Amino acid sequence: MENSKQMRTWLDDMKLDHPLVIAGPCSAETEEQVLKIAHQLKDTDVNYYRAGIWKPRTRPGMFEGVGALGLKWLQKVKAETGMKTCTEVANAAHVKLALEHDVDLLWIGARSTVSPFIMQEIADALGETDKIVLVKNPVNPDLALWLGGIERLKTAGVKNLGAIHRGFSTYEKTKYRNIPEWQLAIEFQNRFPDLPLINDPSHITGNREMIFDVCQTALDLNFDGLMIETHFDPENAWSDAAQQVTPEKLVQIMRDLKIRKESDPEAEYNSDLSNLRAQIDVVDTQLIEMLGKRMKISDGIGALKKQKNVAVLQSNRWNQILGAMILEGESKGLSEEFVLKMFKAIHQESINHQEKVINS
């Protein structure tokens, strides 16, 4: 397949028989909380224990993390449970402290990836580290910023890289906290096919009820792992309470997910097929979104025509659109017959929308 991995990476070296799992609370709150969750996750599929200690909060006055003190708690986690640990770093001082305290995996948050200055500062501080470093996508849907962040770390000499897809913020209200824009993650995979790519359903959904479905889509799209915020008392978490799951729920999610292995030809066929189907689902959702947008514009035109008392059907304009779209369709391998049929249906729906506005 186009995005099958060629080069061996830190993830291949782990020889896992399931996707990589990073889990733990959004924030380290107290030593007891950090240790309790770690003990609950110790004998599960979790590979890395996460806890944010420096928390980038959108508004001041919210809990901004326990700071460097939390690094001692993560060291205790490692000593008591043997789990590898990870946390977010957002500047050179964080990097220095995290490396000094032997954190195994560092991730760069979405609010840092947007800033080339910060990314460069972090890259310089990391230098030729052997630690695993994962770059979250920037908050805005800008692939170049994400790629640029990876390139800065590569150039600085970071050896064990990967990326985290955590969705993108949008002005429009959606069912997600951060819309997945899966096509951007697919594009990212095409640009860096050998880089492990982890999905973060917690920050995409903002809602624990939707986490399973996003995990399944991610696995169907060949993601290499999942980062899932986990807390023994999600409702009372000090940050991101709505999106955290309990350790029990995490285990259940991992058990229920269809994880496709690529070991035998039949499994490979099924995995390729579900990957392509997941890509089709992404495009179909976009088609519906675009059609919805088009109809909203039609409503606007309807309102204008109503003001001026103009007829809904303007044949000249319609013929122009059809001619242009048949040509455009040809260049994309679409038959004239199909383009005509599709635009007739779109046009009819558009007229219905305008009629509704004019007669309202």
Residues that bind ligand PEP (CB under 6 A): 26, 52, 56, 109-111, 136, 166, 203
Residue 55 CB, shortest distance to ligand PEP, in Å, is: 6
Which of the ranges 34-42, 138-146, 154-162, 237-245 carries the binding residues for Mn ion, by CB under 5 A?
237-245
Residue 353 CB, shortest distance to ligand PEP, in Å, is: 38
> Which amino acid is located at 336 in the chain?
E
Residue 205 or 350 with smaller CB distance to Mn ion: 205
Examine residue 26 and tell whether it contacts Mn ion (CB under 5 A): yes
Own/partner long-range contacts of 261-267 (Cβ < 8 Å, ≥24 apart): 261/17, 262/4
Closest C-alpha among 282, 290, 303, 296 to residue 342: 290
Within 8 A by CB and 6+ apart from 145, the residues are 113, 114, 116, 138
Alpha-carbon gap, residue 327 to 322, rounded angstroms: 9
Closest C-alpha among 86, 129, 85 to residue 107: 86
Secondary structure letter of residue 131 according to DSSP:
S
Residue 34 or 110 with smaller CB distance to ligand PEP: 110
Residues 37/24, Cβ–Cβ less than 8 Å: yes
Residue 241 or 291 with smaller CB distance to Mn ion: 241
Examine residue 240 and tell whether it contacts Mn ion (CB under 5 A): yes
Residue 336 CB, shortest distance to ligand PEP, in Å, is: 46
Which of the ranges 5-13, 167-175, 240-248, 263-271 carries the binding residues for Mn ion, by CB under 5 A?
240-248
Residue 329 binding: pick among ligand PEP, Mn ion, none (C-beta 5-8 Å cut-off by kind): none
3-state secondary structure (DSSP) of residue 164? strand
Residue 83 or 237 with smaller CB distance to Mn ion: 237
Which positions touch Mn ion (CB under 5 A)?
26, 240
